[in-house]
């Protein structure tokens, strides 16, 4: 028997000069066939090719070469009489049901765009959802909730100062998820954390209405090209920890039929383990699965042109087939990979089995949950947070001391897609998730939030002003902190989800960005924009080497050199010296309910100027005002930045 080994090595559908080779991994199957269709609506193929083990099987790989197959051909596999989608397909038809959905044969085409390679210290991340960003009519885009509509918003991102966008998942996913009958609730998964494939780009954001084409790929590549042209990198939020097939009784898209015990981890009783919270756990360190994930990442990085990846529930990629933390895992291999190690690799370092922030292999960047919680608690006015706040602002060295990335190990964020928006964080004491259909049982209960006097909507001008002030306090901390800052879409304009902190199933105005809010939050937008610009302008806020205590940073309290680190302290100040520009900064935070006056350091041949004060709207433009006193009085629940001139 003569084998063309390339047909077995290259899984999926691979076009050649005179036809196409089709290959799939399938373990312990009784029958396997390839079906070719005229239309996505067809249920009966016009060609059915039954594969035999003697002619078409090498090891656990089945392959067949068909002549005269052209790009755009629709097909599916059939294993033991069950139709499945090719997990290596680059595109599917748009049909929602598995019965009609087909894989599409596509040529492998690269991209014209080049990676920008922004240094990690200079990254300003904006976490965004492609569809929700422009779905509201207030976005004033030609074709909202599409890749092209997002492209229209690039000038907005540039104006804000963003140079990295992090997109929520765009792998094709199943709309319906969870333990409830979502169809009966008319609720769909809008976030996308429910993949059926790791190569196919979703059609949900395509401007094209052709269900049988793959126009979405060129549209997305054009978006990436335009973002790169404007100096903005693209990071994909990728979900390799589970699939939409769920556990026992869940749907079968592909992997369960191909080899359930290969692609998923099981417990001793042979039940699906659930470290993802979504019914199953991908067996990421099995050779077959690991190779698939690496090929997927290479496709997006090399052929589509994205610049990096944020790994949802990344510890799953560090677990072996018995769900134990592996000494050498896919997490290590990615950081050692000759190509992918040059991509931006970001971990969400927790899953249902544990919290591993700081425990990723050296070289990973990690979402810093401790940063989020500490900033929230300090701004709310919780006691005991000042020593922690100092650690978080100055790079969380206590957490990432072993990581070669240094300060850039930490992805600093206060809000993300999962949880309250920043406006809701200062507007609600409790989550309001009743519309999610789970009796308000879903979503995080411990949010460290505070409504400042009234729950949710209010017309009280004092409360509105205080909420805006608290947002500015958090934005200020975010952009003066060592590490890589990440802002949630719309937080710069007071985006609200009406208290829903788990709005993954709300594809409606609850989650759509309301661009009209920018008019009412122009001061917050301007403040955010100027804080980003300040960070970009001075190297002291984005150090690659450790800050030199006493030379580059000096801690103060109300009295010079006397920081109050006691349990009941709600204030801290410090002086930063940007050696490169010979500029000093004095930054003070006051989370008390009373005014505090801080003694200012004496400067040689210079004076202190107030750059911004979060309690005063007229300082959002960062116009420098000379400080005439030896003290700086900071109003309750506010922060100030002084600059030397």
Each residue's pLDDT tens digit, 194-221 = 999 999 999 999 999 888 889 999 999 9
Q: What is the mean pLDDT of residues 287-293?
A: 97
pLDDT value, residue 624: 94
**pLDDT band, very low/low/confident/very high, at 1 (cuts 50, 70, 90):** very low
Residues 443, 491: Cα–Cα separation, whole Å:
19
What is the percentage of the chain residues whose pLDDT exceeds 90? 90
pLDDT in tens, 352-361: 999 999 999 9
pLDDT value, residue 502: 97
> How many Cα neighbours within 13 Å face the side chain of 232?
27
SS3 531: helix
CB–CB of 572/563 below 8 Å? yes
Give all domains of the chain, ordered by start, each with its CATH number: 12-105 (2.60.40.10), 122-537 (3.20.20.80), 553-644 (2.60.40.1180)
> Has residue 404 got a pLDDT over 70?
yes
Annotated catalytic residue: which of 172, 312, 418, 442?
312
**Which of 490, 509, 488 shows the shortest CA–CA distance to 500?**
509
Torsion of the alpha carbons at 177, 180, 185 and 188, rounded to the nearest 10:
-10
**Among this protein's residues, is 312 annotated catalytic?**
yes
**pLDDT band, very low/low/confident/very high, at 437 (cuts 50, 70, 90):** confident
Q: What is the mean pLDDT of residues 180-204?
A: 83
> Has residue 275 got a pLDDT over 80?
yes
Q: What is the mean pLDDT of residues 430-453?
A: 95
CB–CB of 87/22 below 8 Å? no
Q: What is the mean pLDDT of residues 424-437?
A: 96
pLDDT value, residue 3: 60
Q: What is the mean pLDDT of residues 271-281?
A: 94
**Among this protein's residues, is 599 annotated catalytic?**
no
CB–CB of 480/411 below 8 Å? no
Residues 137, 135: Cα–Cα separation, whole Å:
6
Annotated catalytic residue: which of 348, 373, 578, 584?
348
Q: What is the DSSP letter of 92?
A: B
**pLDDT band, very low/low/confident/very high, at 453 (cuts 50, 70, 90):** very high
Residues 321, 258: Cα–Cα separation, whole Å:
17
Structure tokens at 225: 């090209």
> Has residue 266 got a pLDDT over 50?
yes
If you count them, how many residues does the chain have? 645
> Has residue 181 got a pLDDT over 60?
no
SS3 454: coil
pLDDT in tens, 362-371: 999 999 999 9
> Has residue 273 got a pLDDT over 60?
yes
Residues 494, 469: Cα–Cα separation, whole Å:
12
DSSP 147-189: HHHHHHTHHHHHHHT--EEEEPP-B-B-S--SSS-HHHHT---
Residues 142, 637: Cα–Cα separation, whole Å:
42
Instruction: Write the Ramachandran bin of 275: left for phi over 0, alpha for psi from -120 to 50, otherwise beta.
Output: alpha
pLDDT value, residue 185: 56
**pLDDT band, very low/low/confident/very high, at 97 (cuts 50, 70, 90):** confident
SS3 334: helix
**pLDDT band, very low/low/confident/very high, at 461 (cuts 50, 70, 90):** very high
> Has residue 184 got a pLDDT over 90?
no
**pLDDT band, very low/low/confident/very high, at 111 (cuts 50, 70, 90):** confident
Q: Residue 619 is inside which H or E element, if any? A: none
Q: What is the mean pLDDT of residues 618-624?
A: 95
pLDDT value, residue 179: 45
> Has residue 193 got a pLDDT over 50?
yes
Give the pairing type, strands 103-104 and 74-79.
antiparallel
pLDDT in tens, 53-75: 999 999 999 999 999 899 999 99
> Has residue 324 got a pLDDT over 70?
yes
């Amino acid at each position: 028997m003569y084998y063309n080994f390339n047909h077995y090595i290259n899984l999926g559908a691979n076009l050649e000069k005179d036809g196409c080779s089709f290959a799939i991994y399938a373990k312990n199957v009784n029958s396997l066939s390839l079906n070719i269709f005229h239309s996505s609506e067809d249920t009966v193929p016009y060609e059915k090719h039954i594969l035999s083990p003697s002619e078409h099987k090498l090891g656990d790989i089945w392959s067949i070469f068909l002549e005269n197959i052209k790009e755009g051909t629709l097909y599916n596999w059939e294993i033991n009489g069950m139709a499945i989608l090719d997990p290596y397909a680059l595109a599917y038809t748009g049909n929602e049901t598995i019965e009609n959905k087909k894989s599409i044969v596509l040529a492998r085409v690269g991209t014209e765009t080049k990676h920008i390679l922004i240094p990690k210290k200079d990254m300003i991340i904006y976490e965004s959802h492609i569809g929700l960003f422009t779905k509201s009519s207030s976005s004033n885009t030609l074709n909202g909730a599409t890749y092209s509509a997002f492209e229209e918003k690039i000038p907005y991102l540039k104006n804000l100062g963003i140079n990295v966008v992090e997109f929520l998942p765009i792998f094709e996913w199943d709309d319906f998820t969870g333990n409830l009958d979502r169809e009966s609730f008319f609720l769909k998964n809008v976030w996308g954390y429910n993949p059926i494939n790791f190569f196919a780009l979703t059609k949900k954001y395509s401007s094209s209405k052709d269900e049988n084409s793959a126009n979405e790929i060129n549209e997305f590549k054009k978006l990436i090209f335009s973002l790169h042209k404007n100096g903005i990198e693209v990071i994909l939020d990728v979900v390799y920890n589970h699939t939409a097939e769920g556990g026992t009784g869940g749907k079968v898209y592909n992997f369960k039929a191909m080899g359930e015990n290969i692609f998923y981890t099981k417990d001793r009783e042979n039940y699906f383990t659930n470290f993802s919270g979504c019914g199953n756990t991908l067996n990421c360190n099995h050779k077959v699965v690991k190779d698939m994930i690496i090929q997927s990442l290479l496709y997006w990085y090399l052929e589509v042109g994205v610049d990096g990846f944020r790994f949802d529930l990344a510890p799953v990629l560090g677990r072996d087939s018995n769900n134990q933390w592996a000494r050498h895992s896919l997490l290590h291999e990615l950081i050692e990979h000759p190509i992918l190690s040059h991509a931006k690799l970001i971990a969400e370092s927790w899953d249902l089995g544990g919290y591993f922030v700081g425990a990723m292999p050296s070289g990973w960047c990690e979402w810093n949950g401790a940063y989020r919680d500490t900033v929230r608690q300090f701004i709310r006015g919780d006691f005991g947070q000042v020593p922690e706040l100092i650690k978080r602002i100055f790079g969380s060295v206590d957490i990432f001391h072993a990581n070669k990335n240094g300060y850039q190990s930490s992805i600093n964020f206060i809000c993300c897609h999962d949880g309250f928006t920043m406006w809701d964080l200062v507007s609600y004491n409790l989550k309001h998730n009743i519309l999610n259909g789970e009796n308000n049982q879903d979503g995080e209960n411990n949010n460290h939030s505070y409504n400042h006097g009234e729950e949710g909507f209010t017309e009280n001008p004092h409360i509105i002003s205080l909420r805006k002030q608290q947002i500015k306090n958090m934005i200020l901390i975010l952009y003066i902190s060592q590490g890589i800052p990440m802002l949630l879409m719309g937080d710069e304009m007071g985006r609200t989800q009406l208290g829903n902190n788990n709005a993954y199933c709300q594809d409606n105005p609850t989650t759509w960005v309301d661009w009209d809010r920018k008019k009412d939050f122009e001061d917050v937008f301007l403040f955010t924009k100027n804080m980003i610009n300040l960070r970009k302008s001075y190297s002291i806020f984005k150090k690659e080497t450790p800050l030199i205590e006493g030379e580059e940073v000096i801690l103060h309290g109300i009295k010079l050199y006397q920081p109050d680190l006691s349990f009941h302290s709600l204030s801290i100040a410090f002086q930063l010296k940007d050696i490169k520009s010979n500029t000093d900064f004095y930054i003070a935070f006051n989370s008390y309910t009373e005014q505090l006056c801080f003694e200012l350091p004496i400067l040689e041949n210079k004076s202190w100027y107030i750059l911004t004060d979060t309690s005063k709207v007229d300082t959002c433009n960062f116009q420098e005002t000379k400080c005439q006193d030896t003290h700086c009085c900071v109003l309750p629940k506010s922060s100030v930045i002084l600059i030397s001139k």
